[in-house]
A and B are shown apart, each in its own frame.
Chain A
């Protein structure tokens, strides 16, 4: 059993704050993704859990053990590094076997366990090669096999897919998801790619500047972003954010007027809506603005317009054709609108 609990964990270097007051309970067998832009403290958080980075303040518990002062080797975790960290002087077989060897697992079990791990990641044909003779994807799988061979309490993965090409990334992502399902171990996964986070996670932790912005399931984060940072980070394209004023349930701004919103909020706000929630209208529309650009995506067409100083994207049918400069009219369902406080960026809870 490996719940991982972080209590008020902070990391500071002199005056620079890497991670600030991080509180989180990670359930046993959960797939947790730490998501954020580079420099947000997500990798630092993972390295603190692994024991590769000292903790300035706070407590980290793995299972029922306080691990603050434990060496990485005593925490019973395994980790996949962004650059894989394979041992160049050993064959693939020896690489995978290394954790068993150092941890003095009885030699009789080694072969069986190495073969089981290599089978899981489909490496059987490469066992006698050295890492230098492998492609990026194969190296990545060696790193995975080395992590799973020991069957530790928890897996930590630090952007394991970021060095792979787009196609391989999709198939390896599926493989990781499947491995988690098979092995049923607590997994913490660091990424800056919101699609990876959405597809893999049971729960996502969105971080920015060392602070947790929101914790929730992928759908919660997508549907109810806690602030403008999360809203602009999740989804492809990101949520449209428009600054304006709201009075009596009517949001107004340059080129935009949306009615039917909550009447409890008044004053300057930021309105958010997703590209796919906007629909084309004939007249009397919420948004009326000239087209800034048209992008054909294949399954849909993306048009963008300048509304209240911001570039707003909306998704329309794939057969839609228009020229730059044409005026389009767009309606947004009030239920698909999100309101954020203009100064703090925090979500304003509304009944609707």
Chain B
């Protein structure tokens, strides 16, 4: 009701501009993804047509090769023939481990740094910021030789550790500032009420911190999920996660159909992110507007 009242008061021209801007923005943002989803059900000569881009929409080659306008060949090839499910499982292991480890160390460390009155706490945070600012690839190149020597190159735990190391400064910073926004009185009243320091943390602070933990967890998850630099350098081809696997599909264009595996795999890799954001949107918003946590 009030919305219509507001829009009626606006001049028509302004309304057209506002709506036009929104439409353009939505199209710009959503188009690449929608295009990819549509194209993933076509064959390569259509989606990467050299004659006419309309082919990607109408799909005459798909019709000719498979007898229908849509085909699941790309998905079949990627998931079954080239065992993309293996990469999905690896990604699940890596992202879950990275998120859990980062959050455990991050909440404990962030809380300690937020409540510590010592001056070194500040320098630890500054050092963390410096490491966070470095490009990931600078760390990886240094790791390669030691990992070969120690014979731990190519396996999942190694990249999990490296990703945690890269991610930790960020989680530490973020959680630290969340903890700072929680008044000290809360810990202290819990301690007087009968909690030890750790119990106060677990029973009083973490429940209040929940939106912050979820938000930080989500960012850690995305970092691990989207990472290319670390996983492509540190994992052998059997242990690849999704992103390097997709890249390897793209890298072998000589064989027809492989590019379509990549397209199908990209769509498969994006879907979980949508579900995740839809599911956690409330926490993300409340986490990003932190400071709403009052004593």
Chain A residues proximal to chain B, CB less than 8 Å: 50-52, 71-73, 77-79, 81-89, 98-99, 102-103, 132, 146, 150, 156
Contacts and interface: CB of A to CB of B under 8 A. Distances in A.
A98 B185 contact: no
B208 A87 contact: yes
Contacts of B269: none
B196 A73 contact: yes
Interface stretch (B8-16, B148-156, B186-194): B186-194
Given A52-B191, A102-B203, A71 B196 contact: yes
A79 B192 contact: yes
A71 B185 contact: no
A85 B186 contact: yes
B189 A81 contact: yes
Contacts of A86: 189, 295
A81 B188 CA distance: 9
A185 B197 CA distance: 26
B238 interface: no
A150 B189 CA distance: 14
Contacts of A72: 188, 191-192
Nearest to B182: A88
B207 interface: yes
Contacts of A50: 188, 192
B83 interface: no
Contacts of B188: 50, 52, 72, 79, 81, 85
Contacts of A71: 191, 196
B229 interface: no
Contacts of B208: 87-89
B233 interface: no
B218 interface: no
Interface in B165-219: 183, 185-186, 188-196, 199, 203-204, 207-208
17 contacts: A72-B191, A73-B194, A73-B196, A78-B192, A79-B188, A79-B189, A81-B188, A82-B185, A85-B185, A87-B204, A88-B208, A89-B207, A89-B208, A102-B193, A102-B203, A146-B193, A156-B192
Contacts of A98: 190, 193
B192 A73 contact: yes
Given A83-B183, A87-B186, A99 B191 contact: no
Among A79, A82, A83, A102, residue most surrounded by chain B Cβ atoms (within 10 Å):
A102
B282 interface: no
B293 interface: yes
B195 A88 contact: no
B295 A85 contact: yes
Nearest 9 A-B pairs (CB), nearest first? A85-B189, A85-B185, A102-B194, A99-B193, A103-B194, A72-B191, A79-B192, A89-B207, A73-B194
Given A87-B204, A87-B208, A52 B192 contact: yes
Nearest to B293: A88
B203 A77 contact: no
Contacts of B193: 73, 78, 98-99, 102-103, 146, 150
A215 to B, nearest CB: 25
Interface residues of B, number: 20
B294 interface: yes
A275 to B, nearest CB: 39
A77 B192 contact: yes
Nearest to A103: B194
A125 B233 CA distance: 63
Contact of B185 (A77, A81, A103, A150): A81
Interface string B283-295: 0000000000111
A146 B186 CA distance: 13
Contacts of A77: 192
A72 B196 CA distance: 8
B209 to A, nearest CB: 10
A234 B293 CA distance: 39
A88 B294 CA distance: 7
A51 B188 CA distance: 10
A146 B204 CA distance: 15
A102 B195 contact: yes
Given A89-B207, A102-B203, A84 B192 contact: no
A83 B186 CA distance: 9
Given A73-B192, A85-B183, A132 B294 contact: yes
Contacts of B194: 73, 99, 102-103, 150
Contacts of B189: 79, 81, 85-86, 146
Contacts of A52: 188, 191-192
Nearest to B207: A89
Contacts of A132: 294
A133 to B, nearest CB: 12
B134 to A, nearest CB: 36
Given A52-B191, A72-B192, 14 more contacts: A71-B191, A72-B188, A73-B191, A81-B188, A83-B185, A83-B295, A84-B295, A85-B185, A85-B189, A85-B295, A88-B293, A88-B295, A102-B194, A150-B194
Contacts of A150: 193-194
B236 to A, nearest CB: 46
Nearest to B199: A102
A52 B193 CA distance: 12
Contacts of A85: 183, 185-186, 188-190, 295
